[in-house]
């Protein structure tokens, strides 16, 4: 355990060192995503993504910020300064960062209780987030909501919902309002693989498809629904196909591929109606932090942690630019 | 007093009711009723912009006879609801309706008839049979600023949407630290009908009453149906408007000019001296029928239609209790955990010293409503039982 901590502090040192690096040039470079997209009823976008070093660096910075925030929140939770429930997003940051890169603040995002990083991505400050987590009145919901109820109305972030799956019909409603007001924006309704088995999801899919609502349903598959593994809860884990008549896209999470698919999804949603996106982030933390219970064995957890950090550090030493490309961030 | 009163009973046939038109009573006694004579000058203190008022203030209508003397127009309760809805949709383009069969079919009780042709399919939206998600959809739309009205074909179906109504409708304003208001109206018919069976005869006011953050009102006449509908739509809070299946064909003459009622006020139906009878929705008519018998027997009941089920209009109720010192609650809700139970507790807590007798609460039996007509009749409170209860209380 001490070794892990030592290595993680080294990683953080690398990050702070990087802050001194001036933002790179904006010369476009082409990166290939690590895995091809798989499409259901839709042509998958190409693997080559055009980006700039500046964009890559900003992605990396945002993701590390989110990661550090979540680790800090975990420590606070274990120190009983954050009470109740604390659902952490580390390992899934690429989704939030990639999404923000593809959309504007006028587009709406709604998610379930794993909302800390999405809140940050939408423009929330660390102060707002931590104050809310610790129940202070300076929190984004004045301390009345807690971990599961982060909202930011002016940036189009609609929360922050405690009941699994209940946010998906709300997202459908946001899309309905966008269609009603005829503004050319979309709504991202995020949910997890656990919520993918909820009936209201299929009801919302049906309505969104029926009325061509600009709704994009994003399934973040971390293979666990609360405490139960995916293979024990879902007959068909191909969540992107569950829309049947609604097209779907599937990818392993990296922020560039997230960004691409979000752009594709946005165009599709504005023209043709709903679409499902499915991500498989490799969450490191227990999905629902309960200090007395682990969902994955400790050993496996440590192995994953160790591997990720080791890989990152090696890459950093080789030269950060190349390493960013290699990581296919 | 009794001679001036036009009262009638809803005994068995609902259609027969429409033959007796309800005249607006011209009282000489002060009328506790709020009436905005013109839309631009609401009576101060009763129309609050924004948040839920916990203390309802009833103001005296300055000209109680004015409404009765104006000609007005006659219509049925469902038409009054439609009129209110249409006026609000004309006034504010953000108001939209969604529900099953509200559009092309015109609404299962004809409340939205003709609106889809006038406003289009998006504004009067026919939803699939998916209460949970279309209620959620309405709430999501309300978060962005639209003002949706959700129609439950029968209130009982809204149990499927309980999570959305409780968590998202009721609590979002609080959990977001005030960032979002949810100006939805959830309405639909409930109550015991004409042998509709247990699942279609539910009274949901008792289930919803504990949800923090919502307001509940029950309409009983075309006049208050239109007024409450308009008030509910204009309110920034989520409001649940309870209608009754058997009251849709009531006929009444309502004013031509625009009026909005207060969501937190009770209605004085018949002032009296001996006993306060609190009721709402369909039981109002059973009470009024019992009142005829009681008057013949020499009693003088004061009948109040509480209208606002959450929060209670304790101002009006309290004044009445202080006058009569006896309370009888007549409701269609179940005995256990019903509106009457809460009302009993509230009156006991606040006006205990003014009571000369324990509060009696007549409610429906705690059973699923039977299909057989005779059995069904015995699960709801009948006028004879009301008369007996008053006689016993006033001994």
b/e for A204-227, b at 16 or more Cβ within 10 A?
A: bbbbbbebebbbbbbbbbbbbbee
Helices (H) and strands (E) in chain B, counts: 13, 14
Residue B159 confidence (pLDDT) = 94
Question: Cβ separation of B179 and A162 shorter than 8 Å?
Answer: no
Alpha-carbon distance A253 to nearest alpha carbon in chain B (angstroms):
28
User: Which stretch of A78-87, B52-61, B341-350, B385-394 has the lowest confidence by average pLDDT?
Assistant: B52-61
Average of per-residue pLDDT across A10-20: 46
User: Which stretch of A12-21, A57-66, A287-296, B286-295 has the lowest confidence by average pLDDT?
Assistant: A287-296
CA atoms within 13 A on the CB side of B250: 29
From B136, B167, B175, residue closest to A173, measured CB to CB: B136
Query: Which residue, among A319, A277, A275, A252, has the nearest Cα to A33 in the 3D structure?
Result: A252
Sign of CA pseudo-dihedral A174, A175, A177, A178 = positive
**Which has more pLDDT, A187 or A326?**
A187
- Share of residues in chain B with pLDDT > 70 (%): 82
CA gyration radius, chain B: 20
Quick check: B111 and B85 in contact, CB under 8 A?
Answer: yes
CA gyration radius, chain A: 19
Average of per-residue pLDDT across A288-297: 39
CB of B213 within 8 Å of a chain A CB? The answer is no
The catalytic residues of B are: 131, 200
Query: Which residue, among B298, B316, B297, has the nearest Cα to B308 in the 3D structure?
Result: B316
Sign of CA pseudo-dihedral B242, B245, B248, B252 = negative
b/e for B55-65, b at 16 or more Cβ within 10 A?
A: ebbbbebeebe
**Probe site for chain B from A200, A202, A205, A274 (most B CB atoms < 10 A):** A200
Residue B125 confidence (pLDDT) = 95
Over residues A255-267, the pLDDT tens digits come to 666 777 778 888 8
**Beta strands B239-244 and B215-218, pairing class:** parallel
pLDDT at B13 over 50: no
Kindly list the residues from chain B whose CB atom is less than 8 angstroms away from the CB atom of residue A169.
132-137, 139-140, 164
- Share of residues in chain B with pLDDT > 90 (%): 82
**Beta strands A248-252 and A275-280, pairing class:** parallel
Q: How many CB contacts within 8 angstroms connect chain A with chain B?
A: 123
Average of per-residue pLDDT across A26-36: 75
Residue A307 confidence (pLDDT) = 44
In whole angstroms, what is the distance from residue A135 CA to residue B258 CA? 46
Residue A242 confidence (pLDDT) = 85
**Which has more pLDDT, A269 or B204?**
B204
In whole angstroms, what is the distance from residue B119 CA to residue B35 CA? 29
Over residues A48-82, the pLDDT tens digits come to 778 788 888 888 888 889 989 999 999 999 999 99
b/e for B3-22, b at 16 or more Cβ within 10 A?
A: eebebbbbeeebeebeeeeb
At a CB cut-off of 8 Å and minimum separation 6, what does B256 contact?
B70, B71, B72, B73
Query: What are the helix (H) ranges across B39-120?
Result: 64-69, 77-91, 115-119
What are residue B189's DSSP bridge partners? B243
Question: Cβ separation of A180 and B164 shorter than 8 Å?
Answer: no
Residue A253 confidence (pLDDT) = 59
pLDDT at A284 over 50: no
From A153, A169, A211, residue closest to B180, measured CB to CB: A153
Average of per-residue pLDDT across B311-317: 96
At a CB cut-off of 8 Å and minimum separation 6, what does B295 contact?
B2, B301
Residue B19's pLDDT band, with cuts at 50, 70 and 90, is very low
> How large is the ipTM?
0.79
**Which has more pLDDT, A156 or A268?**
A156
To the nearest 10°, the Cα dihedral for A198, A199, A205, A211? -150
pLDDT at A304 over 80: no
How many Cβ atoms are within 10 Å of B43's Cβ, its own excluded? 18
Quick check: B305 and B220 in contact, CB under 8 A?
Answer: yes
In whole angstroms, what is the distance from residue B100 CA to residue B126 CA? 5
Residue A24 confidence (pLDDT) = 59
Kindly list the residues from chain B whose CB atom is less than 8 angstroms away from the CB atom of residue A206.
128, 130
Residue B193 confidence (pLDDT) = 92
User: Which stretch of A88-102, A186-200, A202-216, B147-161 has the lowest confidence by average pLDDT?
Assistant: A88-102
In whole angstroms, what is the distance from residue B127 CA to residue B367 CA? 32
pLDDT at B44 over 80: no
Query: Which residue, among B244, B212, B213, has the nearest Cα to B228 in the 3D structure?
Result: B244
Residue A2's pLDDT band, with cuts at 50, 70 and 90, is low
From A180, A206, A207, residue closest to B96, measured CB to CB: A180
This prediction's pTM: 0.81
Residue A281 confidence (pLDDT) = 62
Q: Enumerate chain A positions whose Cβ falls within 8 A of a Cβ in B.
A: 108, 110, 139-146, 149, 151-153, 158-163, 166, 168-174, 176-181, 199-200, 203-204, 206-207, 210-211
Residue B332 confidence (pLDDT) = 95
Residue A30's pLDDT band, with cuts at 50, 70 and 90, is confident
At a CB cut-off of 8 Å and minimum separation 6, what does A293 contact?
A227, A286
Average of per-residue pLDDT across B252-269: 95
Kindly list the residues from chain B whose CB atom is less than 8 angstroms away from the CB atom of residue A199.
132
Kindly list the residues from chain B whose CB atom is less than 8 angstroms away from the CB atom of residue A166.
136, 163-164, 167-168
In whole angstroms, what is the distance from residue B324 CA to residue B302 CA? 8
Tokens standing for residue B196: 């509709």
Residue A163 confidence (pLDDT) = 92
Kindly list the residues from chain B whose CB atom is less than 8 angstroms away from the CB atom of residue A171.
140
In whole angstroms, what is the distance from residue B109 CA to residue A301 CA? 59
CB of B95 within 8 Å of a chain A CB? The answer is no
Tokens standing for residue B27: 């009282």
Quick check: A7 and A308 in contact, CB under 8 A?
Answer: no
- Segment (H or E) for B142: helix B131-144
**Which has more pLDDT, A214 or A8?**
A214
pLDDT at B189 over 50: yes
Average of per-residue pLDDT across B95-101: 96
CB of B143 within 8 Å of a chain A CB? The answer is yes
Residue B68 confidence (pLDDT) = 54
């Amino acid at each position: 355990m001490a070794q892990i901590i030592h290595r993680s502090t080294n990683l953080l040192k690398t990050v702070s060192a990087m802050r001194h690096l001036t933002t790179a040039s904006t010369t476009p470079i082409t990166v290939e995503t690590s895995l091809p997209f798989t499409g259901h009823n839709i042509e998958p976008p190409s693997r080559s993504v055009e980006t700039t070093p500046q964009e890559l660096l900003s992605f990396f910075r945002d993701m590390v910020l989110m990661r550090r925030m979540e680790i800090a929140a975990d420590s606070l939770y274990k120190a009983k300064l954050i009470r109740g429930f604390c659902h952490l997003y580390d390992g899934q940051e690429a989704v939030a960062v990639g999404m923000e890169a593809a959309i504007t603040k006028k587009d709406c995002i709604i998610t379930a209780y794993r909302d800390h990083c999405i809140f940050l991505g939408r423009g929330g400050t660390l102060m707002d987030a931590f104050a809310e987590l610790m129940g202070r009145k300076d929190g984004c919901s004045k301390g009345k909501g807690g971990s599961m109820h982060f909202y930011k109305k002016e940036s189009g972030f609609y929360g922050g919902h405690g009941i699994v799956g209940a946010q998906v019909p709300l997202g459908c409603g946001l899309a309905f309002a966008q269609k009603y007001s005829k503004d050319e924006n979309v709504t991202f309704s995020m949910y997890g693989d656990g919520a993918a088995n909820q009936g209201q999801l299929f009801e919302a899919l049906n309505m969104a498809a029926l009325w061509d609502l600009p709704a994009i349903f994003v399934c973040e598959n971390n293979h666990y629904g609360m405490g139960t593994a995916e293979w024990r809860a879902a007959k068909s884990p191909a969540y992107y196909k569950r829309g049947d008549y609604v097209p779907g896209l599937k990818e392993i999470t990296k922020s560039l591929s997230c960004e691409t698919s979000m752009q594709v999804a946005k165009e599709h949603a504005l023209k043709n109606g709903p679409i499902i996106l499915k991500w498989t982030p490799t969450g490191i933390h227990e999905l629902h932090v309960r200090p007395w219970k682990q969902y994955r064995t400790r050993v496996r957890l440590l192995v994953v942690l160790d591997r990720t950090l080791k890989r990152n550090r090696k890459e950093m030493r080789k030269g950060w630019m190349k390493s960013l490309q290699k990581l296919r961030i | 007093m009794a001679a001036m009163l036009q009262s009638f009973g809803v005994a068995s046939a609902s259609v027969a009711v429409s033959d007796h038109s309800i005249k607006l009573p011209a009282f000489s006694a002060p009328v506790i009723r709020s009436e905005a004579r013109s839309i631009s000058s609401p009576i101060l203190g009763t129309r609050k912009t924004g948040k839920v008022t916990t203390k309802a203030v009833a103001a005296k209508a300055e000209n109680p006879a004015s409404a009765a003397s104006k000609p007005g127009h006659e219509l049925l309760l469902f038409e009054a609801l439609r009129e209110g809805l249409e006026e609000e949709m004309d006034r504010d383009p953000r108001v939209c309706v969604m529900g099953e069969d509200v559009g092309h079919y015109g609404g299962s009780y004809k409340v939205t008839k003709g609106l889809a042709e006038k406003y289009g399919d998006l504004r009067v939206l026919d939803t699939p049979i998916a209460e949970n998600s279309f209620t959620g959809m309405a709430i999501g739309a309300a978060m962005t600023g639209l003002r949706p009205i959700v129609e439950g074909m029968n209130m009982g179906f809204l149990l499927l949407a309980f999570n959305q109504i409780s968590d998202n409708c009721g609590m979002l304003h609080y959990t977001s630290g005030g960032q979002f208001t949810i100006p939805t109206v959830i309405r639909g018919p409930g109550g015991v009908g004409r042998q509709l069976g247990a699942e279609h005869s539910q009274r949901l006011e008792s289930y919803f009453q504990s949800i923090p953050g919502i307001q509940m009102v029950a309409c009983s006449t075309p006049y208050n149906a239109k007024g409450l509908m308009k008030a509910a739509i204009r309110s920034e809070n989520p409001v649940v408007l309870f209608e009754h299946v058997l009251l849709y064909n009531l006929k009444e003459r309502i004013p031509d000019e625009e009026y909005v009622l207060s969501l937190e006020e009770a209605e004085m139906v018949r002032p009296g001296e001996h006993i306060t009878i609190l009721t709402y929705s369909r039981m109002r008519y059973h009470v009024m029928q019992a009142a005829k018998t009681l008057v013949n027997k020499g009693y003088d009941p004061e009948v109040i239609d509480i209208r606002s089920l959450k929060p209670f209009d304790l101002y009006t109720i309290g004044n009445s209790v202080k006058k009569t010192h006896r309370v009888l609650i007549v409701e269609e809700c179940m005995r256990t955990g019903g509106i009457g139970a809460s009302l009993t507790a509230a009156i006991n807590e606040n006006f205990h010293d003014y009571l000369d007798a324990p509060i009696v609460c007549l409610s429906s039996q705690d059973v699923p409503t039977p299909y057989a007509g005779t059995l069904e009749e015995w699960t709801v409170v009948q006028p004879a039982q009301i008369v007996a209860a008053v006689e016993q209380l006033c001994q």
